[in-house]
Amino acid sequence: MKIFLVGGAVRDRLLNIPIKDRDWVVVGATPDMMIKKGYNQVGNNFPVFIHPTNGEEYALARTEYKTGKGYNGFTTWFAPDITLKEDLKRRDLTINAMACDDNGRLFDPYNGQKDIFNRKLRHVSPAFNEDPLRVLRVARFAATFAHLNFRIAKETKKLMCHMVREGELSNLTTERVWRETSKALLSINPQIYFYVLRECGALKILVPEISRLFGIPSPMQWHPEIDTGQHTLMSLTMSVVLSDSIDVRFATFCHDVVKTLTPINQWPKHQSHSLLGVSLVKSLCDKWSVPNSTRKLAIIVTELHDQIHIIEKQPIEYLVEFFNRIDAWRKPHRVEQIAIIIEANSRGRIGLENSLYTQGDYLRFTFQLAKKVSTKNIIQQGLKGIKIFEELTKRRIEAIKSGLIINEKKHLLS
């Protein structure tokens, strides 16, 4: 019985980047042998064991045979005589198909180390096309390692395009699509994930709501890049600079989705597009089973983002109503999230990447002014029900007006 460190941990060690998780493969063992050594068995399709002290996963060496469609359409075979090379062959990319023994000796039957040196994402074997999820995984790895100059090998990209044309992606579950997409959104360059999916034809199948944005123009006066799809991914890129929150990044990704509904004869203008976009975003979130906090922020931003661009010109009454609509009093973090998203939207344009965006600071400042109004003091005065809300609104409006006047005087004197 021999134990090997495999997959991402080996890859990351060679790349000299932090190792997040460690996976192990056990060659020459049976379930009974593992249990006798104190490992706890989990998993139904094939035996995976939890180490009795370090809590890490140890899987018996195995091979897979394609027997059906989709991610789960495999029969797994494990036995003591399955070799390490056979186990590694079933993996997606060569950089993930390496192993190390206890002495640190590298086992690299598919030249993963060479591909790391050449910064290539290359499939291990023709069996790559048996699992449609691998199209998304390669796109995610492209996003994860873009900052290290990794690129997809031509033959792998060609195979991905073939899989899309053959309709393999229709066998993916929406839960798996969201899982890969959410991981990509948390990467350093999530826009690369969507560019790769678009290049191989997968974006129009998986996210037609976004795919259709490419080729739709916006007014050059406001959008020098013109193309709405390009603007969407440029905004997503900027959101990464400003936040590591998946809620912020996903809402930024969705903010302009409704422009696909604008009739061609109205291009490049998109009148009243924000409110109409809510139904599209809800549909996308339903399809992917997007978590509630992520979903809610995306809906709010889609509906209201255009109004925030002109927030400094709006009456103070509207500003307080805006804070009410986003439930800012109970969820104050939403103000910061929205300020970041709208800044990413504004700076996600060609030539405007480094521009100042004062509306975000205005939103933050005025909210802090309004938040100082005490609900407790109003209740102590004996007001009840709707009267409490009305008095709160009145005082918040007054607090913002007074604060803005004082702030303006300070600027004049400085």
- Spell out the domains of the chain, with CATH numbers in brackets: 1-115 (3.30.460.10), 372-413 (no CATH)
Residue 68 labeled ligand binder: no
> What average pLDDT score do residues 134-145 get?
98
Residue pair 27/84 in contact by the 8 Å Cβ criterion = yes
Tokens of 213: 């944005």
Residue 140 labeled ligand binder: yes
pLDDT band at 305 (very low <50, low <70, confident <90, very high): confident
pLDDT band at 84 (very low <50, low <70, confident <90, very high): very high
> What average pLDDT score do residues 6-17 get?
95
Residue 8 labeled ligand binder: yes
- Spatial separation of the C-alpha atoms in residues 115 and 106, rounded to whole Å: 15
> What average pLDDT score do residues 134-163 get?
97
pLDDT band at 220 (very low <50, low <70, confident <90, very high): confident
Residue 11 labeled ligand binder: yes
Give the residue with greater pLDDT, 12 vs 378: 12
DSSP 311-335: GGGS-HHHHHHHHHHTTTTT-THHH
Chain segment 172-196, per-residue pLDDT in tens: 999 999 999 999 999 999 999 999 9
Phi-psi category of 63—alpha, beta or left, where left has phi over 0 and alpha has psi -120 to 50?
A: beta
Is the pLDDT reported for residue 324 higher than 90? Answer: yes
- Among 2, 21, 12, 318, residue whose Cα is nearest residue 141: 12
Residue pair 184/140 in contact by the 8 Å Cβ criterion = yes
- Spatial separation of the C-alpha atoms in residues 212 and 198, rounded to whole Å: 11
Is the pLDDT reported for residue 227 higher than 90? Answer: no
- Spatial separation of the C-alpha atoms in residues 15 and 114, rounded to whole Å: 12
Residue pair 151/195 in contact by the 8 Å Cβ criterion = no
pLDDT band at 357 (very low <50, low <70, confident <90, very high): confident
pLDDT band at 110 (very low <50, low <70, confident <90, very high): very high
**For a pLDDT cut of 70, what percent of the chain falls above it?**
92
**Confidence (pLDDT) at 15:** 96
SS3 label, residue 403 = helix
Is the pLDDT reported for residue 408 higher than 90? Answer: no
Burial of 196 by CB count in 10 Å (0-12 exposed, 13-18 middle, 19+ buried)?
A: buried
Tokens of 124: 């291990």
pLDDT band at 26 (very low <50, low <70, confident <90, very high): very high
Chain segment 286-303, per-residue pLDDT in tens: 999 999 999 999 999 998
Residue 330 labeled ligand binder: no
Q: 68-77, 299-308, 324-333, 355-364: which has the highest mean pLDDT?
A: 324-333
**Confidence (pLDDT) at 140:** 98
**Confidence (pLDDT) at 71:** 55
Dihedral angle sign, alpha carbons of residues 66, 68, 73, 76: negative
Q: What is the mean pLDDT of the chain?
A: 90
- Spatial separation of the C-alpha atoms in residues 35 and 27, rounded to whole Å: 15
Residue 102 labeled ligand binder: no
> What average pLDDT score do residues 37-44 get?
84
Residue 87 labeled ligand binder: no
> What average pLDDT score do residues 249-255 get?
95
